[in-house]
Amino acid sequence: MVATPEPVLPFNEALIIRRTDVYGRPAGKPSVSLFIREMLRKLHYDYVWHLYSVWKEYCATKTTKRGARMGMRWKYARYNIFRNYVWRLKKLGLIEKAYEKPADGEHSFPRAYYRLVSLRVNHPAWRDPSAALYARKV
């Protein structure tokens, strides 16, 4: 009997798949901002590196439609781009800093934990935070 692998995400995958991209074309790929929303909804608060590591692990389990026969995996956003998503969400008021854990060592930074702003969980800016932040049509 073959063991089924444990699901990587602690929530339903369909919640983060965008039906269309920002131009209205069919997308079917996951949205980083919706991923962050669902992770924070499930975990209540978390720090950026942990969110990123779960995102990276999730993307490593997926193959592209065209690359399925060649074993090509999804490309995932690098850590600095992922941090930019968190910055945009924070700037839009969709998430806020819950608390900060002091630095462990002499040359490290404090770890910031983020949580959802409860009144903005279903805000339309979650679909495309860049468009909302820079006043493009969402």
What is the rounded radius of gyration, in angstroms, for the C-alpha atoms of the chain?
A: 16
Whole-angstrom Cα distance, residue 46 to residue 119?
A: 19
Q: In the predicted model, is pLDDT for residue 68 greater than 60?
A: no
- Residue of 88, 73, 100, 74 whose CA lies nearest to 36: 88
Residues in the chain: 138
Q: Could you read off the pLDDT of 103-115 as tens digits, one per residue?
A: 888 778 889 999 9
Q: Name the DSSP letter for residue 8.
A: S
| Cα 21 from chain centroid (whole Å) | 16
pTM attached to this predicted model: 0.78
Whole-angstrom Cα distance, residue 115 to residue 96?
A: 6
As assigned by CATH, the class of the 13-133 domain is mainly alpha
Q: Could you read off the pLDDT of 6-30 as tens digits, one per residue?
A: 556 666 666 776 665 556 555 666 7
Q: Could you read off the pLDDT of 44-63 as tens digits, one per residue?
A: 999 999 999 988 888 777 76
